[in-house]
């Protein structure tokens, strides 16, 4: 999880496999299979070629920031802790199943997409973040174990708002 992984050929990951990265850097061309990338640890990290239209799982300490290292199109993003700094270079795929799931942490930046994607809130209460900045929001699901999702900005959805558990509140 630290140091440099470099290669002059493609790294092939099977569908469903996981790359877990907490430090270091990677320089290779990743395969086109759908694998998971998990960012962990307590140090700031910038994404690399391991993140290639796959599922990003940001599970960092509450003081850690994972910064999107280049223009990226993701199928899904699961934010469980820490900060995911998307800047203005994140797009969601048009796969019909794209989603940003937030159970903790914070996403900053602006989602640059009109492709449909869902936003799913689980865990405990929190403020909404950049996950609601894209113009392609289809459905929003709120299914909290406790607490309130406080909306911090205006947004438009084209699908359904499903409130299963918890509270959804407009910000001030």
pLDDT tens for 89-129 read: 998 888 888 899 999 889 999 999 889 999 999 999 999 99
Q: What does pLDDT average to over the chain?
A: 82
Strand partners, 39: 21, 58
What's the mean pLDDT in 55-84? 80
Cβ contact 44:24 at 8 Å: no
Say yes or no to pLDDT of 1 above 50: no
Helix (H) and strand (E) counts for the chain? 0, 16
> Rounded to two decimals, what is the model's pTM?
0.84
| Highest-scoring range by mean pLDDT, 37-46, 58-67, 158-167 | 158-167
Query: For residue 149, what pLDDT band results from cuts at 50, 70 and 90?
Result: very high
Query: For residue 162, what pLDDT band results from cuts at 50, 70 and 90?
Result: very high
Say yes or no to pLDDT of 64 above 60: yes
pLDDT at 140: 96
Alpha-carbon gap, residue 150 to 9, rounded angstroms: 46
pLDDT at 28: 62
pLDDT at 163: 96
End-to-end Cα distance, the chain? 42
pLDDT at 74: 84
């Amino acid at each position: 999880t630290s140091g440099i992984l470099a290669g002059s050929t493609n790294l092939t990951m099977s569908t469903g496999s996981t790359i877990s990265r907490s430090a270091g850097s990677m320089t290779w061309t990743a395969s086109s299979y759908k694998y998971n990338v998990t960012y962990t640890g307590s140090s700031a990290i910038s994404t690399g070629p391991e993140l290639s239209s796959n599922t990003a799982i940001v599970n960092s300490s509450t003081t850690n920031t994972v910064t999107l290292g280049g223009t990226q199109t993701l199928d899904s993003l699961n934010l469980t802790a820490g900060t995911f700094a998307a800047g203005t270079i994140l797009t969601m795929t048009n796969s019909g199943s794209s989603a940003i799931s937030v159970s903790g942490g914070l996403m900053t930046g602006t989602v640059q997409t009109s492709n449909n994607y869902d936003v799913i809130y689980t865990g405990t209460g929190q403020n909404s973040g950049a996950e609601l900045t894209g113009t392609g929001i289809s459905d929003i699901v709120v299914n909290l174990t406790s607490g309130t999702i406080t909306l911090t900005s205006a947004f438009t959805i084209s699908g359904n708002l499903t409130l299963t558990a918890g509270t959804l509140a407009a910000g001030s």
